[in-house]
């Protein structure tokens, strides 16, 4: 990548230039060059949100590289899966780093994707003609959650084994085709070595292929339509052509790289300070261990299904729960078509606010289920709420009641968080 | 702004140091990756096979027997027939050398081979196993776990490769 | 008697009439061939036999079906004698060939007629033992029976063959339902030996028999292993007392009884000076410290001079007994001290290894080596039975060296983990440097203003 226009510097530079010319001529890079030169990024209050997509892309690259490296030593069989992961963690040089980086960046990626989805929704970037971009984006989120679910089993440890058993059992409650889906997911009635092989194939072959296709469409569409500008900003500047912008190369890209480097630093720190645990080898015939939990991004579903009564109005609670989440997914997928005017928008916004609050509360609850951990639960909940509310700040004009309410809420959440932290420290 | 020479030289300096530190980070990323790609040592925990730290001609009383195989002691036994063959300088037959998980199935003591009795003995509670690993007398409830043995190298000097059967 | 025989003949004629029905009934009753219709015993001792009455003891084919004797083809007359067919039938009381059981004292001989004859027993099993009857007469039960016979007043409470094995329906001894199968031996003995009334006033060599042995054994490590864990190798009553020749092991033979499984301890003890001293005083080996029926898992608490320690029962100045030297107490205390040191080292090493494991450090090597230290501890625990401080200390020293070494390596692994963090910090330097320089560089790049001059709005 060119960090700066190449300045003529005698021999060396001309050699470089000739090499560059060689490739430009043969690969037809002029098109790319002109595209890059023309591409601009609008500058307004919500510009920071544009970084989230690039950040997700970077983390996905980290996933690809670290995933390929792990595949060099990993063996997908129940006899060897756990041992090979243990060998990666303990015997292969820097294996602990690679595996921890893979796991941590997967979690960061999902987190970033959630934020990306939320901010895109808030900017209403799915407006015509970007409906397909939105749909592919939601599909990508689903794909990455599937990545997470299938990858969770691969170390073949107790937690993963039983979480997968529970997770695939949930698929089984879908009315009608549930059992067939369960058999398809598990490759048998039970979670066995075949399930492991299946999940491995899905994780390293099927999902990457599908993801490349969907991601390709997503990125193409982003290039084609350019960045979407929120209506409020358009109104503020009086038309799309009057919104200030900066060139993508190098201005925006450099800022992107700053973000990537910060993510890299965070990843390295997390991997070194909190290496991903290995747990104990799965014992299919043993009793389920205490505290089996899925990954954090499934916790809200897990907690809801746990809380549902066995029967609601004559229907099985679990079935209703699964259908409900299926419906939610569908609603999110078709949001661009549901948004048909100010009234439907108000309904959607209300639903979104409820959904975010629901997600925050359930995740915090499931993360710290014990009554003694109430303070920690409150801290996590306020932190998550704080983050989601912060996203709203660019949308509120200063000195309006809405803005004051928002700031007030943020202040309140901050106070609760600090108070809880102090309480935790004292007690 | 490029008109200011001070700013331009500052930018050049920035660019150079940026390139240098960029190269440093690339190195910092590539170094662990390259180390990761290096073959790991042959004797590893949880490995499916391991080479015994002695050769057949050192049996039956080889130093370092039982040895560490995936965190568990592995006992290598040279059967009396094998011993005779070895003494006559003949090639060993399959089954002349056997390998077991040396943890007694009764109370987890370490068992040992008794060449004079031709059995495998656990001195904690007088448990006796035959050379197929079957529990023949005393308290052990189950046979010993057996491993697969492969010999490689020149006759009489073979290396003993022990591997899990599964 | 002639009259009765006549009735009998008449009845038999009637029976011949309905033989077809009876034959069918018999063939349906089980896998073993049923008794022929003219089988003499059936007439009185079958519940639906023609001449059965309230006073006649009965047996049914279903009771007999699982009997090992029945299964190998033996029928009533093979054990009880007499003529099998009605034609040849003679009154029991006059029939010479009938083997009457007048009192329990007749039972050993009754069974022994076959079971003591190797020529006969070989037909059924090539390695049959035929010493049960002989053994029986040497047992506490047999002796008491003999004694009571001599007194002309047969002790009917004394156990004979049938009390343990059953009467009709005797199962093979390796049948898990058999009352003498390892898991049932305890209950079987307890039927009499836990009966307080029956045991009252009974003595063996002048000592009262007691009635709580089974209860105590159930709580013992052996009872738990057998009953809870289903470990059939764990000893039950007969493994120490013998079965047919059941007697309490004598003072001089206790160690041998225990030594049949705890060989190493027995061997060490047999060479120990302590053993000879015990014999001189008349203290039984093993039992003096470990107890007899209620042998619980020995703990290290038993060693040393603390209150809970068994050594202090004799070797302490407070309760000096049997002329036990105080030096022995000091040795015991020293053993305990060394043992605790090793245990502490092992525990420390294990904790550090677990921590290192948790942090993803490779410690399988030191973990494997730590087995040696644990083995040394186990070894030292058995070496205590040599009552030699030197030997125990030597074994413990070996373990301690290993454990110390493992401890050091575990610490190294933990230190290595710290280095990783330091190196991480070092690698963060170029990353953060790039970030800083990038930000500085970005600041030198002004954003060109192509079309929109609306900066003023912000």
Residue C409 covered by a domain = yes
Q: Residue B40: which of A79, A80, A91 has the nearest Cβ?
A: A91
- Secondary structure of residue B127 in the 3-state scheme: strand
CB contact under 8 A, B68 and C263: no
What percentage of chain A carries pLDDT values higher than 90? 51
CB contact under 8 A, C424 and A264: no
CB contact under 8 A, C364 and B71: yes
Q: Which residue of A has its CA nearest to B70?
A: A83
Q: Is the peptide bond before A129 cis (omega within 30 degrees of 0)?
A: yes
Mutation target vs B (from C434, C438, C446; most B CBs, 10 A cutoff): C434
How much is the mean pLDDT over chain B? 82
Contacts of A91 in chain C (CB under 8 A): 362
* Per-residue model confidence (pLDDT) at position C93: 77
Q: Which long-range contacts (CB under 8 A, 24 or more apart) does C174-182 make?
A: C175/C66, C175/C68, C177/C66, C180/C238, C180/C243, C182/C226, C182/C232, C182/C234, C182/C236
CATH 2.102.10.10 is held by the domain B49-163: yes
pLDDT tens readout for residues A45-84: 899 999 999 999 999 999 999 999 999 999 998 888 988 8
Rounded Cα–Cα distance for residues C176 and C168 (Å): 17
CB contact under 8 A, C433 and B125: no
Contacts of B123 in chain C (CB under 8 A): 263-264
- Identify the CA nearest to B166 among candidates B101, B103, B115, B107: B101
**CA–CA–CA angle C187, C188, C192 (5° rounding):** 100
Contacts of B41 in chain A (CB under 8 A): 91
Alpha carbon of residue A51 to chain centroid: 14
User: Distance (Å) from the C-alpha of residue C257 to the closest C-alpha of chain B?
Assistant: 13
Residue B37 in contact with partner chain C when CB distance is under 8 A: no
CB contact under 8 A, A90 and C361: yes
On whether the CB atoms of residues B153 and B159 are closer than 8 A, the answer is yes
- State the residue for tokens 């970007």: A130
pLDDT tens readout for residues A228-276: 999 888 988 888 888 888 888 888 999 999 999 999 999 988 888 787 8
Q: Which residue of B has its CA nearest to A78?
A: B166
pTM tops 0.80: no
Residue B30 in contact with partner chain A when CB distance is under 8 A: no
Residue C448 in contact with partner chain B when CB distance is under 8 A: no
Contacts of A89 in chain C (CB under 8 A): 360
What percentage of chain B carries pLDDT values higher than 70? 90
**CA–CA–CA angle A309, A312, A315 (5° rounding):** 115
CB atoms within 10 A of CB C221: 15
User: Distance (Å) from the C-alpha of residue A90 to the closest C-alpha of chain C?
Assistant: 5
On whether the CB atoms of residues A207 and A199 are closer than 8 A, the answer is no
- State the residue for tokens 């049959």: C128
User: Distance (Å) from the C-alpha of residue A293 to the closest C-alpha of chain B?
Assistant: 27
Quote the strand ranges of B9-122, DSSP E. Answer: 49-55, 67-69, 72-78, 97-101, 112-114, 119-122
pLDDT at B75 over 70: yes
Mutation target vs C (from A1, A43, A86, A261; most C CBs, 10 A cutoff): A261
Contacts of A91 in chain B (CB under 8 A): 40-41, 44-45
Give the residue-averaged pLDDT of B47-73: 79
* Per-residue model confidence (pLDDT) at position C12: 44
Contacts of A69 in chain B (CB under 8 A): 33, 36-37
CB contact under 8 A, B46 and A97: no
The DSSP code for A157 is: B
User: Distance (Å) from the C-alpha of residue A368 to the closest C-alpha of chain C?
Assistant: 22
Mutation target vs B (from C224, C230, C233, C363; most B CBs, 10 A cutoff): C233
Give the residue-averaged pLDDT of B86-100: 84
User: Distance (Å) from the C-alpha of residue C240 to the closest C-alpha of chain A?
Assistant: 37
Residue B166 in contact with partner chain A when CB distance is under 8 A: yes
- Residue-wise DSSP of A94-109: THHHHHHHHHHHHHHH
Rounded Cα–Cα distance for residues B68 and C233 (Å): 29
Top-confidence range, A32-36, B34-38, C300-304: B34-38
Q: In chain C, which residues have pLDDT < 50?
A: 1-32, 452-458
Q: What does the domain layout of chain B look like in residue ranges?
A: 1-38, 49-163
Mutation target vs C (from A83, A88, A96; most C CBs, 10 A cutoff): A96
The first and second tokens of residue A427, run together, are 């007690």
Contacts of A73 in chain B (CB under 8 A): 40
Using CB atoms and an 8 Å cut-off, which of residues 51-90 of chain B contact chain C?
68, 70-73
Fold of A39-289: Cytochrome Bc1 Complex; Chain C (1.20.810)
Residue C11 covered by a domain = yes
Contacts of C263 in chain B (CB under 8 A): 123, 125-126
Bridge-based pairing state of the strands A315-316 and A311-312: antiparallel
Residue C164 covered by a domain = no
Q: Which residues of C touch A (CB under 8 A)?
A: 358-364, 420-421, 424, 427-428, 431-432, 434-435, 438-439, 441-442, 445, 447-452, 454-455, 457
- State the residue for tokens 């960029």: B22
Using CB atoms and an 8 Å cut-off, which of residues 119-158 of chain B contact chain C?
123-126, 138-141
* Per-residue model confidence (pLDDT) at position A11: 56
Q: Report the complex ipTM.
A: 0.81
Angle in degrees, 0-180, between the axes of helices C364-383 and C389-444, rounded to the nearest 10? 160
**Helix (H), strand (E) at residue B46:** none
CB atoms within 10 A of CB C220: 20
Residue C419 covered by a domain = yes
User: C40 lies in which domain range?
Assistant: 1-62+69-100
- Identify the CA nearest to B26 among candidates A394, C391, A1: A1
Q: Residue B40: which of A92, A97, A264 has the nearest Cβ?
A: A92
Size of interface A-B (CB pairs under 8 A): 54
Residue B45 in contact with partner chain A when CB distance is under 8 A: yes
* Better-scored residue on pLDDT, C238 or A203: A203
User: Distance (Å) from the C-alpha of residue B40 to the closest C-alpha of chain A?
Assistant: 6
CB contact under 8 A, A87 and B40: yes
Give the CA-trace dihedral at C359, C360, C362, C368, to 10 degrees: 70
User: Distance (Å) from the C-alpha of residue A269 to the closest C-alpha of chain C?
Assistant: 7
* Per-residue model confidence (pLDDT) at position B5: 61
Mutation target vs C (from A89, A258, A273, A276; most C CBs, 10 A cutoff): A258
Top-confidence range, A170-179, A321-330, A387-396, C69-78: A321-330
* Per-residue model confidence (pLDDT) at position C456: 38
Contacts of C364 in chain B (CB under 8 A): 45-46, 68, 70-71
Residue C438 in contact with partner chain B when CB distance is under 8 A: yes
Residues 6+ apart with CB under 8 A from C41: C35, C76, C77, C80, C82, C84
CB contact under 8 A, B125 and C261: yes
What percentage of chain A carries pLDDT values higher than 70? 97
> At which of C84, C100, C116 does a domain end?
C100
CB contact under 8 A, C448 and A254: no
Touching subunits of A (3+ CB pairs, under 8 Å) are B, C
CB contact under 8 A, B28 and C427: yes
CB atoms within 10 A of CB A333: 17
Q: Which residue of C has its CA nearest to A253?
A: C442
Residues 6+ apart with CB under 8 A from C88: C40
Q: Which residue of C has its CA nearest to B4?
A: C444
* Better-scored residue on pLDDT, C432 or B4: C432
Angle in degrees, 0-180, between the axes of helices C263-271 and C364-383, rounded to the nearest 10? 50
pLDDT at A361 over 50: yes
Using CB atoms and an 8 Å cut-off, which of residues 186-245 of chain A contact chain C?
236-237, 241-245
pLDDT tens readout for residues C195-235: 888 888 888 888 888 888 999 999 999 999 888 888 887 88
């Amino acid at each position: 990548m060119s960090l700066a226009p190449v300045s003529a510097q005698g021999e060396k530079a001309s050699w470089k230039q000739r090499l560059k010319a060689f490739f430009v001529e043969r690969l037809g890079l002029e098109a790319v060059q002109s595209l890059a030169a023309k591409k601009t990024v609008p500058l307004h209050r919500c510009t920071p949100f544009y970084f989230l997509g690039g950040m997700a892309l970077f983390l996905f690259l980290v996933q690809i590289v670290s995933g390929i490296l792990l595949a060099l030593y990993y063996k997908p069989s129940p006899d060897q899966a756990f041992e090979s992961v243990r060998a990666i963690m303990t015997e292969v040089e820097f294996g602990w780093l690679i595996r921890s980086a893979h796991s941590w960046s997967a979690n960061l990626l999902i987190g970033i994707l959630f934020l990306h989805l939320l901010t895109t929704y808030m900017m209403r970037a799915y407006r015509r003609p970007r409906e397909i971009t939105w749909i592919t984006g939601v599909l990508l989120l689903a794909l990455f959650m599937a990545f997470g679910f299938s990858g969770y089993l691969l170390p073949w440890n107790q937690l993963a084994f039983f979480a997968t058993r529970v997770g695939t059992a949930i698929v089984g409650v879908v009315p009608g085709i549930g059992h067939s889906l369960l058999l398809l997911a598990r490759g048998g009635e039970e979670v066995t070595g075949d399930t492991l092989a299946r999940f491995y194939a899905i994780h390293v072959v099927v999902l990457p292929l599908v993801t490349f296709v969907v991601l390709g469409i997503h990125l193409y569409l982003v290039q084609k339509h350019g960045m979407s500008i929120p209506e409020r900003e358009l109104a503020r500047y009086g038309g799309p052509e009057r919104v200030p912008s900066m060139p993508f190369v190098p201005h925006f890209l450099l800022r992107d790289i700053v973000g990537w480097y910060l993510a890299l630093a965070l990843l390295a720190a997390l991997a070194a300070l909190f290496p991903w645990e290995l747990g104990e080898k799965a014992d299919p015939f043993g009793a389920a261990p205490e505290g089996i939990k899925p990954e954090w991004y499934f916790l809200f579903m897990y907690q809801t299904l746990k809380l549902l009564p066995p029967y609601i109005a004559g229907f099985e609670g679990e079935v209703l729960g699964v259908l409900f989440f299926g419906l939610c997914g569908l609603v999110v997928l078709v949001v661009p078509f549901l948004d048909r005017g100010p009234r439907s928008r108000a309904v959607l916004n209300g639903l979104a606010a409820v959904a975010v609050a629901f997600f925050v509360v359930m995740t915090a609850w499931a993360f710290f289920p014990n009554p003694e951990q109430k303070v920690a639960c409150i801290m996590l909940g306020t932190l998550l709420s704080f983050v989601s509310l912060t996203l709203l700040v660019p949308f509120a004009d200063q000195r309006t009641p809405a803005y004051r309410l928002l700031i007030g809420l943020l202040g309140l959440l901050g106070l609760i968080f600090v108070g809880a932290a102090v309480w935790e420290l004292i007690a | 702004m490029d008109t200011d020479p001070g700013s331009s030289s500052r930018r050049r300096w920035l660019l150079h140091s940026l390139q240098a530190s960029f190269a440093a980070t690339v190195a910092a990323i590539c170094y662990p990756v390259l180390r990761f790609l290096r073959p790991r040592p042959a004797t590893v925990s949880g490995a499916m096979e391991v080479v015994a730290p002695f050769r057949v001609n050192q049996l039956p009383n080889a130093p370092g027997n039982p040895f560490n195989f995936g965190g568990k002691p592995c006992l290598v036994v040279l059967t009396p027939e094998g011993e005779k063959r070895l003494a006559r300088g003949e090639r060993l037959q399959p089954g002349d050398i056997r390998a077991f998980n040396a943890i007694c199935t009764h109370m987890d003591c370490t068992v040992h081979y008794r060449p004079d009795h031709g059995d495998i003995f656990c001195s904690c509670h007088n448990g006796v196993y035959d050379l197929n690993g079957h529990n023949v007398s005393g308290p052990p409830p189950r046979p010993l776990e057996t491993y697969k043995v492969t010999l490689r190298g020149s006759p009489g000097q073979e290396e003993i490769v022990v591997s899990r059967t599964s | 008697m002639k009259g009765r025989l006549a009735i009998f003949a008449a009845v038999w004629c009637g029976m011949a009439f309905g033989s077809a029905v009876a034959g069918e009934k018999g063939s349906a009753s089980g896998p073993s061939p049923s008794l022929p219709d003219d089988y003499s015993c059936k007439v009185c001792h079958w519940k639906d036999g023609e001449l059965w009455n309230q006073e006649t003891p009965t047996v049914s084919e279903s009771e007999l079906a699982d009997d090992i004797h029945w299964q190998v083809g033996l029928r009533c007359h093979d054990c009880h004698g007499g003529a099998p067919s009605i034609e040849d039938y003679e009154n029991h009381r006059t029939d010479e060939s009938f083997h009457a059981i007048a009192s329990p004292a007749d039972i050993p001989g009754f069974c022994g007629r076959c079971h003591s004859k190797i020529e006969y027993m070989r037909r059924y099993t090539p390695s049959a033992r035929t010493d049960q009857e002989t053994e029986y007469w040497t047992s506490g039960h047999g002796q008491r029976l003999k004694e009571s016979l001599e007194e002309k007043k047969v002790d009917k409470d004394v156990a004979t063959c049938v009390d343990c094995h059953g009467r009709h329906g005797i199962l093979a001894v390796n049948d898990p339902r058999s009352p003498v199968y390892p898991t049932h031996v305890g209950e079987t003995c307890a039927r009499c030996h836990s009966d307080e009334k029956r045991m009252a006033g009974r003595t063996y060599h002048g000592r009262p028999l007691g009635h709580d042995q089974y209860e105590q054994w159930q709580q013992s490590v052996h009872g738990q292993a057998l009953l809870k864990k289903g470990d059939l190798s764990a000893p039950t009553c007969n493994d120490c007392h013998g079965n047919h020749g059941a007697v309490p092991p004598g003072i001089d033979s206790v160690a041998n009884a225990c030594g049949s499984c705890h060989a190493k301890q027995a061997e060490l003890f047999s060479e120990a000076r302590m053993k000879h001293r015990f014999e001189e005083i008349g203290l039984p080996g093993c039992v003096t410290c470990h107890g007899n029926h209620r042998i619980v898992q020995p703990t290290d608490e038993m060693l040393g001079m603390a209150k809970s320690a068994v050594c202090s029962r004799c070797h302490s100045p407070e309760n000096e007994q049997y002329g036990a030297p105080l030096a022995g107490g000091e040795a015991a205390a020293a053993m305990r001290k060394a043992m605790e040191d090793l245990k502490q080292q092992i525990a420390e090493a294990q904790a550090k290894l677990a921590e290192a494991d948790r942090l993803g450090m490779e410690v399988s090597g030191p973990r494997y080596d730590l087995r040696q230290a644990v083995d040394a501890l186990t070894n030292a625990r058995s070496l205590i039975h040599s009552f030699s401080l030197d030997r125990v200390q030597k074994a413990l020293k070996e373990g301690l060296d290993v454990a110390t070494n493992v401890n050091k390596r575990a610490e190294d692994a933990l230190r290595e983990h710290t280095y990783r963090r330091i190196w991480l910090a070092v690698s963060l330097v170029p990353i953060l440097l790039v970030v800083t320089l990038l930000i500085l560089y970005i600041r030198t790049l002004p954003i060109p203003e192509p079309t929109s001059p609306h900066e003023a709005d912000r």
